[in-house]
Every structure is written in structure tokens, then in C-alpha cells.
């Protein structure tokens, strides 16, 4: 597997799976099997959830956001290896070793959080404090929202001398895009990851056609990836350029060969012929 780290499409797929099980239902029982994940659970975590209703299951970047009837918000992150199972049954008790949290809901369903490496986290945020919460406060627009358009992207990269892909990974530009889908979107948009970010806007700060292409490409690759989450497709078949160093470009009219470069410590893959 190229990358086990869940990116936005994986988290969105989890959200869509958990929503019917949790939203509108009470936490009947909360079982917490250890004191911490990446950081300790908040004080009285189970008690503050029990009896409360999950009002919805939302997502912000790669965070699952569950507003509660108490006014608090349950914030959850999958980390590197975390996953949520619904109505998990264990034949071998050893398989349950990494089941750290179980939510028994009034829907009659059970939601189990399993995380072998424990880089995930869960927190409870006070009413009204979500926007000021460390990680969430400085995030740019959601890539699939109307707020993320060519004008918003232009505003975020105006004057930026960093390479375009590095600017896309900056969470203030767009929330939760991630390394793989940034590379994929740049290929769809026929833009080099190495071009200076500010070259997709005019001197006055207005979006050039490249900015419009890139916004559309980002939405397209994410929506396709979310749709694929519901089908069992071999992971390597998912990507246009990511992980394909040395292979022919998949664009029908292009004879380029995919190359790999390192930018800001991350691998990027692109076609030097059709991406300019």
C-alpha cells in the first residue's frame, strides 16, 4: 500500500457510514478501554457522552465533528491507522485488542473505534469554542464547498512564491486536501507542481484560467475518490500519477513519463510533458 494514512475521501466515506447509525440517536453506553490514544481522553469522557444525542455527524478537513445535545462537540481523528466499525463481531478476542472505544447508540447499533498505532484522537469541545480550537481555527475552505472557488484559491496564493503543490498542502489554502489528491488534481489540471503558486493569478490578484481548472480538478478527484470508497477497488488502481514513477502518462494524447520529485519533504509525482 502506498499510503495507509486516511485522506479526506476516506474520512468522508467514514462520515457517510456513521451518520445514519449515530445522528439523531443517544449514546446509551460508552466503553473506553484505555486512558489515551495519541493524547489522553478528556476528563469524564464516557460520562459526558452518555445520555446525550448526537445531533449530526459532520466533517471538517480530516476531522469528524459530532455536535451533541449537551452543547459540547465530539471531535475525532483517525490518525494513521484508526478505523470505525459498525456492529463489529469478534470471533477471536485477540482481534479486539485495539478496540479502544465502543459507542452503543439508541439506534441499537454499536460503533467501535479500532486503532493499532494509536495516532487517532477524541476530544470534547465546549459550546462555541470549535472555531478557536487549535487545528480547526486556521483551516481554509472545504474543497467540496461552494466557498472554495477560483476567487478563493486566487486570494490564498496571491504573492506566494512557493511551488504550487506546496501551497496546496498548506491547510490555510484549502482544508484537508492531502499529498496524494494534490498530485492527482495537478495532473488533471495539467499544471506542474513545481510552478510558482502565484502564476495562477493575475497581477491584480484575479484568478487566471489555470486557477479555475485547478479548483475544478480538486473537486473532481475528491468526488471520484469518495465514490470509489463505496466500491472495493484495488488501491493502486486509484491514482493517475501518485506512485506511478517511470510509467507512461495516462492522458490519451501524451507521451510523457511520470517522474517523482521531493517538495517540502513529501513525494510528488507528475508528468513533465503535459503538466506545465
Q: What is the CA radius of gyration of the chain?
A: 20
Using CB under 5 A, pick the residue from 13, 55, 86, 273 that binds Zn ion: 273
7-66 residues in contact with Zn ion (CB under 5 A) are none
How far apart are the C-alpha atoms of 181 and 62, rounded to whole Å?
13
Q: How far is the CB of 275 from Zn ion (least distance, A)?
A: 7
Of 54 and 249, the one with the shorter C-beta distance to Zn ion is: 249
User: Least distance to Zn ion from the beta carbon of 188, Å?
Assistant: 11
Residues in 228-267 that interact with Zn ion by CB under 5 A: 249, 251, 254, 256
Backbone torsions φ then ψ of 229, nearest 5 degrees = -60, -30
> Least distance from C-beta 192 to Zn ion, angstroms?
11
Is 146 among the catalytic positions? no
Decide: 130 and 120 in contact? Cβ < 8 Å. Answer: no
Which residue, 102 or 249, has its beta carbon nearer to Zn ion?
A: 249
Q: Are 84 and 96 in contact (CB under 8 A)?
A: no
d(CA 174, CA 191): 17
- Tell me if residue 272 is catalytic: no
104, 228, 261, 266: which is the annotated catalytic residue?
266
Q: Tell me, yes or no, if 62 is annotated catalytic.
A: yes
Q: Are the C-beta atoms of 133 and 125 separated by less than 8 Å?
A: yes
- Three-state DSSP state, 123: strand
Closest separation in Å from C-beta 218 to Zn ion: 18
7 catalytically annotated: yes
Work out how close the CB of 177 gets to Zn ion at its nearest, in angstroms, rounded to a whole number: 21
Per annotation, catalytic residue among 15, 48, 62, 213: 62
Q: Which 3 state secondary structure label does DSSP give 38?
A: coil
Total number of residues that touch Zn ion (CB under 5 A): 7
**By C-beta, is 152 or 271 nearer to Zn ion?**
271
Q: Establish if 271 lies at the interface with Zn ion (CB under 5 A).
A: yes
Round to whole Å and give the CA distance between 26 and 45: 15
Nearer to Zn ion, 32 or 254 (CB): 254
Q: Do 31 and 102 form a contact (C-beta atoms < 8 A)?
A: yes
9 or 243, CB closer to Zn ion?
243
Buried b / exposed e along 43-62 (16+ C-beta atoms within 10 A)? eebeebbeebbbeebebbbb
Interaction site with Zn ion (CB under 5 A): 249, 251, 254, 256, 271, 273-274
Catalytic residues: 6-7, 62, 266
Amino acid at each position: 500500500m502506498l499510503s495507509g494514512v486516511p485522506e479526506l475521501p476516506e474520512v468522508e466515506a467514514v462520515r457517510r457510514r456513521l451518520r445514519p447509525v449515530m445522528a439523531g440517536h443517544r449514546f446509551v453506553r460508552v466503553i473506553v478501554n484505555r486512558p489515551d490514544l495519541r493524547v489522553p481522553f478528556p476528563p469524564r469522557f464516557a460520562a459526558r457522552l452518555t445520555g446525550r444525542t448526537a445531533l449530526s455527524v459532520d466533517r471538517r478537513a480530516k476531522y469528524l465533528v459530532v455536535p451533541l445535545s449537551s452543547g459540547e462537540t465530539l471531535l475525532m481523528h483517525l490518525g494513521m491507522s484508526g478505523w470505525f466499525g459498525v456492529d463489529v463481531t469478534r470471533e477471536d478476542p485477540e482481534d479486539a485488542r485495539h478496540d479502544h472505544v465502543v459507542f452503543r447508540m439508541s439506534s441499537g447499533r454499536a460503533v467501535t473505534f479500532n486503532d493499532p498505532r494509536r495516532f487517532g484522537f477524541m476530544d470534547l469541545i465546549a459550546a462555541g469554542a470549535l472555531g478557536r480550537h487549535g487545528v480547526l481555527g486556521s483551516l481554509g475552505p472545504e474543497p467540496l464547498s461552494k466557498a472554495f472557488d477560483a476567487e478563493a484559491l486566487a486570494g490564498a496564493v496571491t504573492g506566494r512564491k512557493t511551488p504550487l503543490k506546496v501551497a496546496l498542502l498548506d491547510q490555510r489554502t484549502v482544508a484537508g486536501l492531502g499529498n496524494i489528491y494534490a498530485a492527482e488534481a495537478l495532473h488533471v489540471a495539467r499544471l506542474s507542481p513545481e510552478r510558482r503558486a502565484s502564476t495562477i493569478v493575475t497581477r491584480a490578484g484575479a484568478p487566471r484560467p489555470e486557477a479555475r481548472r485547478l479548483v475544478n480538478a480538486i473537486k473532481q478527484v475528491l468526488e471520484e475518490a469518495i465514490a470509489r470508497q463505496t466500491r472495493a477497488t484495488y488501491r493502486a488502481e486509484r491514482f493517475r500519477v501518485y506512485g506511478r514513477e517511470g510509467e507512461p502518462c495516462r492522458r490519451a494524447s501524451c507521451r510523457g513519463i511520470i517522474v517523482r520529485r521531493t517538495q517540502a519533504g513529501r513525494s510528488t509525482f507528475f508528468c513533465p510533458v503535459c503538466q506545465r
